[in-house]
Amino acid sequence: MTLEGTNTFVVGERPVYVIDPGPADDGHIAAIHAEADRRGGIKGVVLTHSHLDHSEGVDALGAPVLAGERAGPFETIPTPGHAPDHVCLLLGDVLFSGDLILGEGSSYVPPDGGSLVAYLESLRRVAELDLELICPGHGPWITDPAAKVAEYIEHKLDRERKLVAALESGERSRAALLDAAWDDVPQELRPAAAQVMQAHLEKLEGEGRLPGDLVD
């Protein structure tokens, strides 16, 4: 589970739209139904991406899943990186960011051949928007969107700078590279950090900046 769980948003009145119904937890689904019924029922469900912690509860809501350039009242903005099918949902100056941007900490970007490149491009796309509020898929709302997006971009680039510096110094051991660039990560999170590092290494390889003699 990420942070305290998945944020589900019930948007509008008579009827409502449900963003990311979350896991198929009976209590959670009942709470969504109760709020939606109080406000005129569910018109449709919109997903930021298909990971189960965001999408598993869809069937239990019994409402159509909306997609396309516009999904109900939302403009859908393709933002791959965390997941290939990830989108953010824009409603006026409010962005529902799914797992692109979290209310606390940083988002996991898996190694799948170019995902980190896509993720950074997605962040830059969001940085161009004039936002007042970001409602993330996990964690609290973000009331200074521009600062948070800039923080996210800088965080990824700072990791890359540390990784490149270690490579340029002649380091080739993956364990030592992890120590150099993810030195602040606690031991229990090192396996996840190693996966994130692999995404960085794939980005460098795609850009022709990765030495070919890394060792495990």
Catalytic site positions: 53
How are beta strands 42-46 and 16-19 bridged, if at all?
A: parallel
Three-class secondary structure of residue 5 per DSSP:
coil
Contact 98, 20 (CB under 8 A): yes
Chain-centroid distance of CA 101 in Å reads: 5
Contact, 151 vs 106, CB < 8 A?
A: no
Query: Ramachandran region of residue 40, left (φ > 0), alpha (ψ -120 to 50) or beta?
Result: left
Task: List all residues 6 or more positions away from 183 whose beta carbon is below 8 Å from its beta carbon.
Answer: none
Q: Which of 19, 53, 54 is nearest to 36 (CA)?
A: 19
Tokens read off for 162: 């540390």
142 close to 106: Cβ distance less than 8 angstroms: no
